[in-house]
Amino acid sequence: MTVHVIGAGLAGLSAAIAVAGRGERVILSEAARHAGGRCRSYHDGMLDMTIDNGNHLVLSGNMAVNRYLRDIGAEGRVSGPERPEFHFFDFQLGGRWTIRPDDGPVPWWILHADRRVPGTRVRDYLALLALMRRHPGRRIDEVVRRDTVLWEKFLRPILLSALNTAPEAASADLAGAIVRETFAKGGRHMRPLISTPTLAAAFVDPAIDCLRRQGAEVRLGRSLRAVRFADGKAAALAFDGEEEAVQPDDRVIVAVPPWAAEKLLPGVTAPQTFHAILNAHFQIVPPRKTLAMVGVIGGTAEWVFAFEDRLSVTVSAADHLMDIDTDPLTLLLWRDVAVVHDLAVPVPPCRIVKEKRATFAATPAEDARRPPARTGWPNLFLAGDWTDTGLPATIEGALRSGNRAATLALGGGLA
C-alpha cells in the first residue's frame, strides 16, 4: 500500500510521519518549494537573518505536539519557563503584572491577589467554569460576562490569541476546548513553549529528515491540479505535467488549505471566512534578562517575543492593520515594544509579515462548516487545522488532524 499525502504543512507532515512510522510507503507532495506551510522559516535578505513567518506558540500539555516532536527526534527544540507564568505590560495601569497558576488542577492561585489579574475577585474566575461546559452553536458573549476586569485584561487577550477571532463573536465551544485542555488541567499543562532556534528547526526540518530516513518520497514543488474519481473512489492524481494512478490498495490524504480542498474535491464544505495575523521582526539584540514573552494590554501590539537576535511582535485578528503602510505601522508597533522593554533607541530595521488568511474565523457558523477527516470516498481523507478537530486553528489541531487522517487511512491501526 502507498499513502499519498498532499500538502507538507504540519497536518501533512504529521500524517506522513504517522504512516511512515508504521512501515507503509509514503509519497509526500507539496506545491511550494519548501515544507511547513504557514509554519515556515526563511532567510530575510533585508535583515540578513533567519526569521519565522510568525511567532507560533505551543503549550507544555499539547499531547499531539509532544508526540510529534518525539517521533521526529526534536523534543529539545521547544523551550520555555520552568513554571507556568504569563507576564503582561498594562498600558491602562502603566505597569506590569504576572499570572502564576499552580502546577496542579486545583486553582489555589486565584486565592492570592498577587498571582491573579489585578483588580479581579475570586468569583470572577467562575467564568472559566462556564466556558468548560459544552455550548453548541453559541458565541462566547452568550456564555461569559464581558463587563469584568478579568475579561478585558486576561480572557479576551488570551482567547483572541488562541482563536484569531474577536472573542465576542467567537465559538464558545472552541474557547471551551482551550480552557478544558489548559486551565482545567493545571499549570504543568500551560507552560508556554517557543521553537528554538526557529520554527523550521523544531517542526519541519527534523520531520523531513525523519521521513527520508524511513524511505518516504518527499516531492517539493509538485502542485496537485485535480483528483480523478472512478467507481466512487479516488483513482488518479493529476500534478503539473504528470498523472499518477491511485492503486486499489492505496490511500490519499489531502492536507491543503480549505480553499484548495474545495476546488479539488467536489461536495467538500470548508470555512469561508478568514482572519489575518500580523508579525513584526525587529533586528535588535534584546537586553540581558529580557522576558521571552510579554502580553500587551491596551496597545497595538498584543504579544512581544524576545529571541537572541530580535524582538518580535504578534497581533491576532489583525485585519484592521492590513492596509496600513509599512513605515507608520512599524513605528506604531515599535512604540509599544520600546515601552514594554524600556528601550530608548531609534526604530531598528524591521520586517513586517502579513498573513491575510492565516486561520478560519472561529465563529459558530464557520466552525459548523469544518468537515470531518473521513470523506465520501473510502480511500481519501482530509487533514488540516481547518477540519473538524474540536480545536481552533492551532499547531496542536493541525497535528491531531494529521494523526486522525493517518489512523483512518491505515484502517484504524494507530492509537
The amino acid at residue 396 is E
The amino acid at residue 19 is V
Residue 252: inside a domain, yes or no?
Answer: yes
Residue whose C-alpha is closest to residue 24's, from 415, 406, 412: 406
Residue 414: inside a domain, yes or no?
Answer: no
Q: Indicate if 72 and 179 belong to the same structural domain.
A: no
Structure confidence by residue, pLDDT tens digits, 304-344 = 999 999 999 999 999 999 999 999 999 999 999 999 999 99
- The DSSP code for 265 is S
Identify the pLDDT of residue 412.
62
What is the percent of the chain where pLDDT is above 70? 99
Cell of 244: 499518477
The confidence band for 413, taking pLDDT boundaries of 50, 70 and 90, is very low
The β-bridge relationship of strands 57-59 and 95-99 is: unpaired
Q: Indicate if 96 and 126 belong to the same structural domain.
A: yes
Identify the pLDDT of residue 241.
85
Q: Indicate if 248 and 389 belong to the same structural domain.
A: yes
Mutual angle of helices 395-409 and 10-20, in 10-degree steps = 40
The confidence band for 199, taking pLDDT boundaries of 50, 70 and 90, is very high
Does residue 241 or residue 412 have the better pLDDT?
241
The amino acid at residue 118 is P
Q: How many angstroms separate the CA atoms of 183 and 68, rounded?
A: 23
Q: Count CA within 13 A, CB hemisphere, residue 338.
A: 12
Residues 367 and 135 sit within 8 Å (Cβ to Cβ)? no
Structure confidence by residue, pLDDT tens digits, 50-81 = 999 999 999 999 999 999 999 999 999 999 98
Residue 81: inside a domain, yes or no?
Answer: no
Structure confidence by residue, pLDDT tens digits, 202-225 = 999 999 999 999 999 999 999 999
Residues 338 and 311 sit within 8 Å (Cβ to Cβ)? no
Residues 168 and 140 sit within 8 Å (Cβ to Cβ)? yes
Q: Which of 150, 172, 190 is the last residue of a domain?
A: 190
Q: Indicate if 265 and 288 belong to the same structural domain.
A: no
Residue 281 sits in a domain whose CATH number is: 3.90.660.10
Residue whose C-alpha is closest to residue 212's, from 396, 64, 75, 73: 73
Q: Indicate if 264 and 370 belong to the same structural domain.
A: yes
The confidence band for 414, taking pLDDT boundaries of 50, 70 and 90, is very low
Q: How many angstroms separate the CA atoms of 244 and 228, rounded?
A: 10
Residue 100: inside a domain, yes or no?
Answer: yes
Q: Which domain holds residue 346?
A: 274-360
Q: How many domains does the chain have?
A: 3
Q: Indicate if 68 and 211 belong to the same structural domain.
A: yes
Q: Indicate if 374 and 250 belong to the same structural domain.
A: yes
Residue 226: inside a domain, yes or no?
Answer: yes
DSSP assignment of 315-378, as one string?
EES-GGGTTS-HHHHHHHHHHHHHHHTT--SPPPPEEEEEEEEEEE--SHHHHTTPPPSB-SST
List all residues 6 or more positions away from 228 whose beta carbon is below 8 Å from its beta carbon.
Answer: 234, 235, 236, 237, 238, 243
Cell of 136: 453548541
Q: Indicate if 170 and 284 belong to the same structural domain.
A: no
- Asked if pLDDT for residue 228 goes beyond 90, the answer is yes
The partner residues of 29 in beta bridges, in order of sequence, read 6, 219
Cell of 79: 523551550
Q: How many angstroms separate the CA atoms of 76 and 196, rounded?
A: 8
Q: Which of 149, 167, 190 is the last residue of a domain?
A: 190
- The DSSP code for 31 is S
Residue 112: inside a domain, yes or no?
Answer: yes
The confidence band for 11, taking pLDDT boundaries of 50, 70 and 90, is very high
Residue 327: inside a domain, yes or no?
Answer: yes
Residue 157: inside a domain, yes or no?
Answer: yes
The distance of Cα 12 from the centroid of its chain, to the nearest Å, equals 14
Identify the pLDDT of residue 6.
98
Structure confidence by residue, pLDDT tens digits, 231-257 = 999 999 999 989 999 999 999 999 999
Residues 2 and 19 sit within 8 Å (Cβ to Cβ)? no
Q: Indicate if 238 and 344 belong to the same structural domain.
A: no
Q: Indicate if 267 and 125 belong to the same structural domain.
A: no
Structure confidence by residue, pLDDT tens digits, 117-165 = 999 999 999 999 999 999 999 999 999 999 999 999 999 999 999 999 9
Q: Indicate if 317 and 289 belong to the same structural domain.
A: yes
- Asked if pLDDT for residue 415 goes beyond 70, the answer is no
Q: What are phi and psi of 235, to 5 degrees?
A: -115, -25
Identify the pLDDT of residue 196.
85
- pTM here is 0.96
Q: Indicate if 353 and 370 belong to the same structural domain.
A: no
Q: Which of 190, 218, 238 is the last residue of a domain?
A: 190
